Structure 1
Amino acid sequence: MPPLPDAHCRYIGEWTATKLRWGLTADQAEADALTAYAEACETTVVNYTLAS
């Protein structure tokens, strides 16, 4: 995670978008961490385009 708390939601959003774009999986620990951090990011929207 970035050192500045104000950057956490953007980081989580971009991380998630990258995973979705490239069809990458997440193990349970990563999914749990993303979910925990995302709970504080109610206004973050994840936009992505599937890689072709």
Structure 2
Amino acid sequence: MAATAKTNWSKADKDPAGWMPPAESATCTYLVDWTATKLRWNLNADETEQAALLDLAEPCADSTVEYDPAT
């Protein structure tokens, strides 16, 4: 997703526990993309990140995470 320099700077290397897009309308898309990337590359999420993902994703019940595992 395209982001302004200011938004990109504020995100830095934070996961969803530490940063979410300022536009509430982007929440579900961001969480789906974040989760798909983690799954694709078989990356771990610490407990804080997992808790944030579950909490933040509650209003995204209609969203589906699709990914192709990296080979």
TM-score norm. by structure 1 comes to 0.97
What displacement does 1:30 show?
0.2
Count, aligned residues = 52
Give 5+ residue unaligned stretches, structure 2: 1-19
Identity among equivalent pairs (%): 50
- Superposition RMSD on alpha carbons, in Å? 0.4
Q: 39, 45, 48: which one pairs with 2:64?
A: 45
Partners in 2 of 1:32 and 1:26 — Cα distance?
A: 10
Give 5+ residue unaligned stretches, structure 1: none
2:60 match: secondary structure: coil
1:14 corresponds in structure 2 to 33
What displacement does 1:4 show?
0.3
1:23 corresponds in structure 2 to 42
TM-score norm. by structure 2 comes to 0.72
Partners in 1 of 2:25 and 2:62 — Cα distance?
A: 13
- 4+ runs deviating over 4 angstroms: none
